[in-house]
């Protein structure tokens, strides 16, 4: 007798004397669950609710309450978008439509650009298809049959995609009304499940990402399970727009970029003050943590890059030049140069660990389309360091680095750190014993520091496992900044060695580590995180002194000199303008404090102080104000 046992997450079991679908099982539990079902998870694999369960299996019914539902809804919304485009623009050809962070996109080939009005019409048609409550059905086709099917439909891109899939396995097609798409799935059971979505924008994208191919049109959208979630997301986008570091960089006169130097930054005086505050802070942290700062050449012979492995694996991103029949490369990273410093003189095991740090200026030939303000550039500076140590020292060095990193992020005002551990990939160097020890050391360090972390199996570099540290900013965005990578390969390739306790020559382990990553990018993150209202210790101008009339000019100048003597970054505004105008103008510059000097302040030898939020802190002595500033600067991560 045929019996299928389905085990549910609560530990209960249900038996069936015939093959059943996921939806059948949901219906046997309750009509409400059947209506809510979006997909199933059978033995850990996500499937459609129409999928059959033929053997004893573990099953979880996926509803909107489950985390997995959002990706399924977004993927199905991409199909809904393509369906709407095909109904409105039958000559358009569909290509690919994947899920991305916070939404989805779909690429189309069409004879003219889509307009804003087109997007509104497409979104309206998507809502209409949603209301039709069309069943979404999966059918399996033999490979050549599927290719011919799409060619008959005039969908040549889809046919190309199937032709490019290696092997000769069958493929799955999804049907909803008069629309068919190629997809692995799973998808929601009907279009009625897709209620909360919005089309965001249209952009250009090359077919298969190759600039030699046709330029397609990419329509971006977002989709959610709840209207409140979408509303919150759109609000975050509005906030992000207000915080755009490019706009604030111009408004606050920090930096600019121009066509003559694509992907490179022109720092203005105020912006360079901010840069120096970040760099000098990091320099102090490194000095206090046992690092030795070095400086390595900007241009190095091709031979070094060949030996390090960069020429083979990174050549297309390197700027090169020739001189006297020799080929050179402008460094895209600092590690080979640091090994050269380590190699000068014979090291003993007693010298280890050696920690070499550099604010290293690097250049990478990023695609012009990827450049973005100071967040993605071609010329950048890394707070780079490399630790040369023994295998036995790895865990302690990782623990120390994590403590350093946590302190730095807290000082910059970031409270939440997300951590990922990436382990050995299929293609790798080093022995299995080395990898075992390295991964165990990184995991033990994370455990010792009581950090929650996500495992990324197989995502490590070919030369060793790595830890990635990401920050969550004030509006919930995540920025990957810090890294720690363990390297078995490069020290050996570049001849690094030390004399062990038994007098043998050994190759040190090399830890690549950065806290901020790129200083340019991190400063962009700071600007957006604080919406330009930087903490007092980072603000390019900390105080501005304003007089009400000419009669207070001498005292205002004396106050300014006194603040400067106490290392406060202060400016003086003696313009013959109304005080309300000057206050408003400096408020737009997001200065932490404004000092107002009138006749009463001159008479009493005091100052009146306003903070950035517009609060009047009243009259006080200069010494009291300096104490206030000193306290606020010392706590760094807090803002006024």
Alpha-carbon gap, residue 27 to 40, rounded angstroms: 13
Check 245, 386, 477, 612 and give the catalytic one.
Answer: 386
Q: Which of 74, 512, 582, 586 is the catalytic position?
A: 512
Q: Which residues contact 637 (CB under 8 A, 6 or more apart)?
A: 410, 411, 412, 413, 414, 535
Cα–Cα distances in Å, from 504 out to 152, 236, 494, 509, 510?
Answer: 71, 58, 18, 16, 19
Residue 449, both tokens:
């520091």
Active site residue 335: yes
Taking alpha carbons only, the member of 549, 601, 596 closest to residue 575 is: 549
Could you check whether the bond before residue 186 is cis, i.e. omega within 30 degrees of 0?
A: yes
Annotation marks residue 75 as catalytic: no
How many of the other CB atoms lie within 10 Å of CB of 90?
A: 8
- The yes-or-no answer on residue 573 being catalytic is no
611 CB burial (10 A radius; 0-12, 13-18, 19+): middle
Distance CA 74, CA 62 (A): 15
The catalytic position among 187, 355, 364, 612 is: 364
Nearest-CA neighbor of 608 among 523, 531, 546?
546
Helix (H, G, I), strand (E, B) or coil at 485: strand
Which residues contact residue 145 at a Cβ distance below 8 angstroms, ignoring those fewer than 6 apart?
none
The Cα 357–Cα 511 span in angstroms is 12
- Are the beta carbons of 616 and 636 closer than 8 angstroms? no
Active-site option among 48, 181, 270, 335: 335
Catalytic residue among 347, 466, 612, 636: 466
Report the C-alpha gap between 389 and 354 in whole angstroms. Answer: 7
Please tell me the distance from the alpha carbon of residue 549 to that of residue 422, in angstroms, as a whole number: 63
Would strands 543-547 and 570-573 be described as parallel, antiparallel, or unpaired?
Answer: parallel
Tell me how many degrees the CA angle 124-125-129 measures, rounded to the nearest 5.
Answer: 120
Q: Which two tokens stand for residue 386?
A: 């490399």
Neighbouring-strand partners of residue 361:
381
- Put the strands of the sheet holding 179-182 in their side by side order: 136-141, 171-176, 179-182
The helix/strand/coil state of 175 is strand
From the list 336, 435, 423, 354, the residue with the least C-alpha distance to 390 is 354
Please pick, among 102, 181, 383, 384, the residue that the annotation labels catalytic.
384
SS3 389: strand
Q: Are 532 and 252 in contact, with CB atoms under 8 Å apart?
A: yes
Catalytic, 466? Answer yes
Please answer whether residues 4 and 15 qualify as being in contact, where contact means their C-beta atoms are separated by less than 8 angstroms.
yes
CB 508 within 8 A of CB 491: yes
Among the listed residues 217, 230, 382, 395, the single catalytic one is: 382
Alpha carbon distance 548, 575 (integer Å):
9
384 is catalytic: yes
Strand partners, 613: none
Catalytic residue numbers, as ranges: 335, 364, 382, 384, 386, 466, 512
């Amino acid at each position: 007798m045929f019996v299928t046992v389905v085990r549910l997450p609560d530990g209960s079991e249900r038996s069936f004397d015939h093959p059943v679908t996921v939806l059948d099982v949901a219906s046997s539990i309750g009509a409400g669950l059947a209506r809510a079902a979006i997909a199933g998870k059978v033995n850990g694999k996500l499937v459609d609710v129409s999928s059959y369960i033929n053997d004893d299996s573990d099953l979880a019914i996926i509803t909107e309450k489950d985390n997995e539902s959002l990706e399924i809804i977004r993927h199905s919304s991409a199909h809904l978008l393509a369906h709407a485009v095909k109904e409105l623009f039958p000559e358009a050809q569909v290509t690919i439509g994947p899920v991305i962070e916070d939404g989805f996109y779909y690429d189309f080939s069409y004879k003219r650009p889509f307009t804003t009005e087109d997007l509104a019409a497409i979104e309206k048609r998507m809502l209409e298809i949603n209301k039709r409550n069309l069943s979404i059905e999966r059918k399996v086709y033999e490979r050549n049959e599927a290719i011919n099917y799409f060619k008959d439909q005039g969908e040549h891109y889809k046919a190309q995609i199937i032709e490019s899939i290696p092997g000769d396995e069958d493929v799955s097609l999804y049907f909803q009304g008069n629309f068919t798409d190629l997809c692995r799935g799973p998808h929601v059971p009907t279009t009625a499940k897709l209620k909360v979505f919005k089309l965001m924008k249209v952009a250009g994208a090359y077919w298969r990402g190759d600039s030699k191919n046709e330029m397609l049109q990419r329509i971006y959208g977002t989709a959610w399970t709840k209207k409140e979630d979408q509303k919150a997301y759109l609000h975050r986008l509005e906030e992000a727009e207000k915080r755009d570091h490019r706009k604030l960089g111009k408004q606050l006169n920090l930096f600019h970029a121009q066509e003559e130097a694509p992907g490179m930054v022109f720092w203005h005086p105020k912006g360079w003050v901010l840069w120096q505050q970040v760099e000098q802070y990091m320099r102090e942290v490194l000095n206090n943590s046992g690092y030795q700062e070095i400086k390595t050449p900007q241009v190095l012979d091709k031979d070094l890059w060949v030996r390090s492995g960069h020429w083979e694996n990174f050549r297309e991103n390197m700027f090169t030049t020739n001189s006297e029949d020799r080929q050179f490369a402008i460094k895209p990273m600092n590690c080979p140069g640091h090994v050269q410093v380590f190699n000068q003189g014979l090291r003993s095991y007693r010298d280890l660990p050696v920690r070499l740090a550099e604010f290293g200026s690097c250049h990478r030939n990023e695609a012009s389309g990827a450049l973005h303000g100071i967040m993605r550039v071609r010329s950048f500076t890394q707070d780079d360091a490399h630790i040369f140590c023994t295998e036995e020292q790895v865990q302690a060095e990782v623990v120390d680095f994590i403590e350093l990193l946590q302190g730095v992020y807290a000082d910059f005002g970031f409270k939440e750190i997300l951590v990922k551990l990436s382990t050995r990939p299929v293609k790798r160097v080093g022995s299995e014993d080395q990898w075992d020890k390295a991964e165990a050391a990184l995991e033990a360090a994370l455990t010792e520091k009581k950090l929650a972390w996500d495992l990324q199996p197989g995502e490590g570099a070919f030369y060793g496992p790595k830890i990635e540290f990401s920050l969550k900013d004030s509006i919930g965005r995540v920025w990957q900044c810090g890294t720690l990578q363990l390297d078995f390969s490069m020290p050996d390739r570049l001849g690094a060695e030390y004399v062990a306790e038994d007098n043998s020559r050994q190759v040190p382990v090399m830890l690549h580590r950065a806290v901020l990553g790129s200083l340019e990018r991190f400063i962009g993150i700071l600007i957006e995180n604080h919406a330009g209202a930087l903490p007092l210790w980072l603000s390019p101008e900390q105080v501005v002194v304003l007089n009400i009339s000419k009669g207070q000019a001498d005292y205002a100048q004396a106050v300014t000199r006194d603040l400067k003597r106490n290392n406060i970054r202060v400016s003086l505004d003696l313009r013959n303008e109304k005080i309300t105008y000057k206050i408003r103008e400096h408020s737009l510059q997001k200065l932490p404090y404004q000092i107002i000097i009138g006749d009463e302040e001159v008479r009493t030898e005091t100052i009146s102080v306003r903070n950035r939020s517009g609060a009047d802190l009243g009259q006080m002595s200069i010494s009291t104000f300096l104490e206030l500033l000193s306290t606020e600067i010392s706590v760094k991560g807090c803002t006024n």
